[in-house]
């Protein structure tokens, strides 16, 4: 595979217990082509080492290094996965010479392979342009079943990422691209955004969101005081689709929690809110795949953002294998 890099064993280090007390002791470094079909619950971590879309979107580059940093931080964490659960690092999709489109195409194929192998994919980025490849990988997998199954996208983010790709696709265009594809195919565009900020989206983007019937929760409402109502909205959204794809943009968090991102802001949401919402999504039984975008180690402080991303992966990996 031209735009693929096999897993790096050297990333998986930490305390040694010889009893699988830590995740680096449990993880298997398994290249995609060697990955067997899972006979039991299995998590697959796939990197998207690309920030060409961030560069095109005039953001701070550095997110291409994000996947390795998240994996390394995750590996140092305690392992509470059951003995009947497998954990694989399957390497990373890489971007050569700024060719974001080829990286996205490779991601489509990689996600499809993981789902065919009965893995639960967790994709680590990398720019948010990976959402276009990730979504299409899920869609391509479901299309092989010829059952017309619907996909709902839940995006934890300060940004709609609905910029029009009239000139060039980038990290700000993936959901507009998906919406336009859905329009061409005559299928519904099911998109829920949680944490949208007025200071992060111009009025044209709000107009586009209205035109596309996007459901969104503003940052001032995405707060613990409104958790019950938000849970109701998530439940209603999930009931309306067959599968849910979750994407978490780290730049949606306040920079107090996530300084190492492509577009940091102190005005973002808290990890607590995302974790509470993830409980609701996972309990629906419809979560098919998840990614974490915009980890930028170049601007991280004391590994805070890497630890946040790793903690989110830790929570999801344990929750989906217990559900």
Domain limits, the chain: 4-322
Binding residues for Mn(2+): 128, 157, 159, 161, 249, 251
Which residue from 240, 239, 248 is spatially nearest to 277, judged by alpha carbons?
A: 248
The one-character DSSP state at 269 is B
Residues whose CB is less than 8 angstroms from the CB of residue 227 and which lie 6 or more positions away in sequence, other chains included: 273, 276
CATH architecture of the domain with range 4-322: 3-Layer(aba) Sandwich (3.40)
Q: How many CB atoms lie within 10 A of CB 199?
A: 9
With beta carbons less than 8 A apart as the criterion, state whether 89 and 30 touch: yes
pLDDT at 96: 87
Report residues of the chain scoring pLDDT below 50.
none
Tell me what pLDDT residue 166 has.
Answer: 85
Structure tokens given for 104: 């996205």
Provide the pLDDT for residue 71: 98
Query: Residue holding tokens 């693929």?
Result: 4
In angstroms, the CA 4 to CA 88 distance is: 16
Alpha helices in the chain (DSSP H): 23-26, 52-56, 66-75, 100-116, 130-143, 174-185, 203-211, 227-239, 271-283, 304-322
Structure letter (DSSP) for residue 53: H
The Cα 284–Cα 280 span in angstroms is 7
Q: Peptide bond preceding 126: is omega within 30 degrees of 0, i.e. cis? A: yes
Q: Which pairing describes strands 4-5 and 86-94: parallel, antiparallel, or unpaired?
A: antiparallel
Element (H, E) at 248: strand 243-249
Residues making up the binding site: 128, 157, 159, 161, 249, 251
Q: How far apart are CA 200 and CA 191, in angstroms?
A: 18
Q: Which of 11, 29, 19, 22 is nearest to 87 (CA)?
A: 29
For residue 155, the model assigns a pLDDT of 98
Token duo for residue 182: 């859905």
């Amino acid at each position: 595979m031209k735009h693929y890099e096999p897993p790096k064993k050297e990333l998986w280090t930490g305390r040694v217990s010889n009893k699988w007390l830590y995740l680096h002791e449990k993880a298997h470094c398994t290249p995609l082509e060697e990955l067997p079909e899972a006979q039991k619950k299995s998590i697959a971590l796939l990197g998207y080492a690309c920030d060409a879309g961030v560069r095109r979107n005039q953001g701070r580059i550095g997110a291409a290094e994000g996947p390795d940093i998240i994996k390394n931080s995750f590996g140092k964490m305690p392992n509470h996965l059951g003995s009947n659960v497998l954990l694989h690092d399957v390497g990373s999709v890489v971007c050569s010479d700024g060719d974001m489109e080829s990286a996205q195409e490779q991601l489509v194929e990689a996600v499809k392979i993981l789902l065919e192998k009965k893995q639960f994919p967790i994709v680590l980025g990398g720019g948010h342009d990976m959402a276009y490849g990730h979504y299409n990988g899920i869609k391509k997998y479901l299309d092989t079943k010829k059952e017309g199954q619907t996909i709902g996208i839940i995006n934890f983010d300060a940004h709609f990422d609905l910029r029009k790709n009239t000139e060039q696709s980038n990290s700000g265009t993936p959901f507009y691209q998906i919406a336009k594809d859905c329009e061409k195919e005559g299928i519904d565009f099911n998109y829920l955004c949680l944490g949208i900020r007025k200071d992060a989206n111009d009025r044209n983007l709000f107009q586009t969101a209205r035109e596309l019937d996007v459901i969104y929760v503003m940052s001032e409402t995405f707060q613990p005081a409104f958790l019950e109502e938000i849970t109701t909205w998530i439940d209603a959204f999930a009931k309306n689709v067959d599968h849910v794809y979750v994407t978490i943009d780290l730049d949606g968090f306040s920079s107090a929690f996530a300084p190492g991102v492509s577009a940091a802001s102190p005005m973002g949401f808290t990890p607590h809110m995302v974790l509470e919402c993830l409980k609701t999504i996972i309990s629906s039984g419809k979560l098919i795949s998840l990614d974490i975008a915009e980890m930028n180690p170049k601007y991280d402080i004391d590994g805070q953002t890497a630890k946040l991303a790793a903690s989110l992966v830790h929570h999801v990996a344990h929750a989906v294998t217990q559900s």
